[in-house]
Structure 1
Amino acid sequence: MFLEARHDDDRHLPVLRSTGVTWVGRTNDGQALVEAIRAAGLESAGRFAWVACDNRTTRAVAKVLREEYGMSRRSMRAQAYSVA
């Protein structure tokens, strides 16, 4: 699980720690999150991805999951919650 933090306090959100949370600081309009996911070397077979970021970051993360990890559109739900 990747979570993006804009403020230091964001890291204190109640998140189940056993899920393997990776916190990524929000820099370059979400590009740090995209790069962290790209570099993670995730195993995507049989997985489902939920992507919820600003519109640009959502599109960029979904593109990485499709093009670099081979995930189909049916294997993910990508929903922008705001306009960057």
Structure 2
Amino acid sequence: MSKIHALLEVQPSQAARLPEPPERERLRKVQGLTQAQVAEALGVTRGAVSAWEAGRYDPRGDVRVQYAELLRLIAERHPAPDGEGAT
């Protein structure tokens, strides 16, 4: 039963919450990363990262979780001005 309880403790929708597209771009840039670097780290194309930052679509599955974690860690280092950004 402990494995079942562990599954219920982590809610994927919360763990993979993404900031709005403009904030995604701001976070990447303030950290000094290129779209290509983010894409390589996540195992996707640079075009996919560009599309996420433009709001054309969002990542799914494990990539979404990893991308959300990357952005969360950057946001801890570089909070949005005036508390804007994450949703």
TM surpasses 0.5:
no
Compare CA radii of gyration and give the structure with the larger one: 2
Q: TM-score, normalised by structure 1?
A: 0.28
Larger strand fraction of residues: 1
Task: Choose between structure 1 and 2 for higher RCO, CA contacts under 8 A separated by at least 6 residues.
Answer: 2
